Amino acid sequence: MEPRAEEKQEKVEDNVQYPFEINDIVWIVNPTYRSPLGEFRVTKALPDDKFELVKVSDGSLHPEKVNSKYLRRDPGIA
């Protein structure tokens, strides 16, 4: 049986979990320990839902491109 239109729309909205824009301040959340790893600024959005980040405290570029599922606007939300 095909899902109703309302259910389809709800699924689409659920897929957009953590939209980030350039210059947003975010925290990287380690999935293993669920602890914040620092405050970063988004500098570039990349394909495959990854982001280039710069550390706010010293302006250094984060060595890896980080997937949005590991980013949070509020470090208390894991």
pLDDT, tens digit, for every residue of 21-30? 899 999 988 7
Residue 11: is its pLDDT beyond 90? Answer: no
Please indicate, yes or no, if residue 61 is contained in any of the structural domains.
yes
Cβ atoms of residues 49 and 68 within 8 Å: yes
Record the pTM.
Answer: 0.66
Which CATH number belongs to the domain containing residue 14 in this structure?
2.30.30.140
Q: Is 54 part of any domain?
A: yes
Look up residue 30 and give its amino acid: N
Measured distance CA(66)–CA(11) in Å, rounded: 24
Please give the helix or strand (H or E) that residue 5 lies within, else none. Answer: helix 5-15
Domain count, the chain: 1
Dist. CA 28–CA 52, nearest whole Å? 12
